[in-house]
Amino acid sequence: MDKKPKTGGAKKKATPKKKAPDEKQFERFVKTARELGVDESGKEFERAIKAITTKRN
């Protein structure tokens, strides 16, 4: 007796993505980042890494 192949069954639907944070929260985030002097370009990070990894005599 041949067996029938199993079906995949009912597939779950993808859950919708959460909405982006509200504008006020984003504005607070940006303000705090600026107050902390966060550098988005990565130059400050590179400077810090170079200072740490520089070979000293």
For residue 41, what are the domain limits?
23-53
pLDDT score of 34: 87
Question: Is 7 part of any domain?
Answer: no
CA–centroid distance for 5 within its chain: 41
According to the model, what pLDDT value does residue 32 have? 92
In tens, the pLDDT along 8-26 reads 666 777 776 676 668 889 8
- Cβ(5)–Cβ(11) under 8 Å? no
Residue 20 is predicted with a pLDDT of: 62
4 assigned to some structural domain? no
- Does residue 33 lie in a domain region? yes
6 pLDDT above the threshold of 80? no
Residues 6+ apart with CB under 8 A from 44: 37
Output the six-digit token pair for 1: 């007796």
With bands split at pLDDT 50, 70 and 90, how would you rate the model's confidence at 37?
Answer: confident
Residue 31 falls inside a structural domain: yes
Encoded tokens for 2: 């041949």
